């Protein structure tokens, strides 16, 4: 079995640089300062380049609407609220999640270089997008990275019939001699963004993804949004999501995820989600070059294992995303018709041109 680009056939390819410029200009039109607009636009397009369309440019319209509604602070003063030698609590001042998280990531890396490890908790933030972005930054700095966030209710806990926990993703990153090893996963069967995207495309979803408001499995994405995502591996995913809630909102003093505003579903109030960024300087423990060589040997052994029936390779975490990145950087980002229609409507609203 091989994993390939699953973007719909009827897509329009747009060069990444053009898409990024459009996103940056739209955010600046909504009042976001140039630096924060550029960081957010880069992130959105990076998601699409890596094949994580659920967190990419498809979110730009909703993001603009949240800013327009005043539930995101366009001129946020991101700052450290308390600090020790290797840790800090950052107040995002209700700013865009990507600039807030970029700030926190770089602070965690700084602590790691000085102390061997850096931990930064964030509160008063917004949806931070794809966790892999921040783990990639840590890997580029020669660090192991762990990134996580809480989110608004979207997942039905194991044994419950109503959504309560967020899909609370967790991401691990490690540098290699090639593309970093990145494991970025929701604690639900899929991120709720897949359900939203299916709804936008008018497509059914597998009945293993979510339940409807009656607590029973559903293939209808609209009913799934009313019900909730199913936890990954049943009680394990449910327990992991609960622990992430503790490591984010409770640790930082933020609003509990169960009371956070949904990115798409509640445009009336700030989200107030919480994040955690942990960077470990590899050189504080072992030589970085030696670490990469040993990791390369480990991955080679893993790749050379006998293949199970129906598989053509052993796939490593982040490998498929790196392949998407290579293809889409060269050939443009595939935008399906439903998302393109949203972007064209946004272009008309803001008078920011979008060249297809």
Which of 279, 301, 323 corresponds to the end of one domain? 301
Asked whether residue 312 falls in the same domain as residue 242, the answer is no
Q: What is the pLDDT of residue 3?
A: 38
Asked whether residue 314 falls in the same domain as residue 286, the answer is no
Phi-psi region of 38 (alpha: psi -120 to 50; beta: other; left: phi over 0): alpha
Buried b (16+ CB within 10 A) or exposed e, 69-103: eebbbbebebeeeeeeebbbbbbbebbbbbbbbbb
348 belongs to a structural domain:
yes
Which of 272, 301, 330 corresponds to the end of one domain? 301
Q: What is the pLDDT of residue 5?
A: 47
2 belongs to a structural domain:
no
Number of domains within the chain: 2
CATH code of the domain containing 64: 1.10.1530.10
CB 111 within 8 A of CB 119: yes
- pLDDT averaged over the chain? 95
CATH code of the domain containing 147: 3.30.1370.60
Asked whether residue 310 falls in the same domain as residue 248, the answer is no
Cα separation, 356 vs 348, whole angstroms? 14
225 belongs to a structural domain:
no
CB 67 within 8 A of CB 74: yes
Asked whether residue 256 falls in the same domain as residue 317, the answer is no
> For the chain, which ranges sit under pLDDT 50?
1-6
Instruction: List CB contacts of 350: < 8 A, sequence separation 6 or more.
Output: 25, 26, 29, 30, 64
330 belongs to a structural domain:
yes
9 belongs to a structural domain:
no
Asked whether residue 41 falls in the same domain as residue 169, the answer is no
Asked whether residue 64 falls in the same domain as residue 87, the answer is no
Asked whether residue 53 falls in the same domain as residue 97, the answer is no
Please count the residues of the chain. Answer: 356
Q: What is the pLDDT of residue 221?
A: 96
Asked whether residue 313 falls in the same domain as residue 352, the answer is yes
Domain that holds residue 292: 76-188+231-301
218 belongs to a structural domain:
no
Asked whether residue 156 falls in the same domain as residue 56, the answer is no
Q: What is the pLDDT of residue 8?
A: 52
Asked whether residue 281 falls in the same domain as residue 164, the answer is yes
């Amino acid at each position: 079995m091989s994993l390939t680009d699953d973007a719909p056939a009827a897509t329009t390819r747009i060069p990444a640089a053009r898409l990024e410029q459009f996103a940056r200009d739209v955010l600046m039109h909504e009042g976001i300062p140039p630096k924060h607009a550029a960081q957010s636009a880069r992130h959105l397009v990076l998601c699409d380049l890596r094949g994580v369309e659920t967190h990419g440019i498809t979110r730009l319209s909703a993001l603009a609407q949240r800013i327009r509604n005043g539930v995101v602070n366009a001129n946020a003063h991101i700052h450290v609220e308390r600090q020790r030698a290797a840790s800090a609590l950052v107040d995002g001042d209700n700013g865009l999640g990507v600039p807030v998280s970029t700030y926190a990531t770089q602070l965690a890396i700084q602590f790691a270089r000085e102390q061997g490890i850096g931990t930064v908790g964030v509160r008063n933030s917004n949806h931070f997008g794809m966790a892999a972005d921040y783990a990639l930054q840590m890997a580029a700095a020669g660090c192991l990275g762990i990134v996580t966030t809480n989110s608004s209710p979207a997942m039905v806990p194991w044994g419950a019939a109503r959504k309560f926990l967020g899909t609370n993703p967790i991401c691990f990153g490690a540098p290699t001699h090639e593309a970093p090893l990145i494991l970025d996963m929701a604690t639900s069967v899929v991120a709720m963004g897949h359900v939203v995207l299916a709804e936008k495309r008018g497509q059914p979803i597998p009945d293993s993804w979510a339940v409807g408001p009656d607590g029973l499995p559903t293939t209808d994405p609209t009913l799934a949004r009313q019900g909730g995502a199913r936890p990954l591996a049943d009680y394990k995913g449910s327990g992991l999501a609960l622990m992430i809630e503790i490591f984010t909102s409770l640790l930082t003093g933020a609003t509990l995820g169960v009371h956070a505003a949904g990115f798409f579903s509640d445009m009336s109030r700030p989200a107030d989600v919480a994040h955690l960024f942990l960077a470990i300087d590899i050189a504080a423990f072992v030589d970085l070059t030696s670490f990469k060589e040993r990791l390369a040997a480990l991955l080679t052994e893993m790749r050379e294992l006998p293949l199970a029936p129906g598989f053509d390779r052993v796939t490593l975490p982040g490998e498929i995303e790196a392949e998407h990145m290579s293809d889409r950087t060269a050939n443009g980002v595939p935008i399906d018709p439903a998302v393109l229609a949203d972007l064209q409507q946004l272009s008309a609203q803001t008078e920011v041109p979008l060249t297809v």
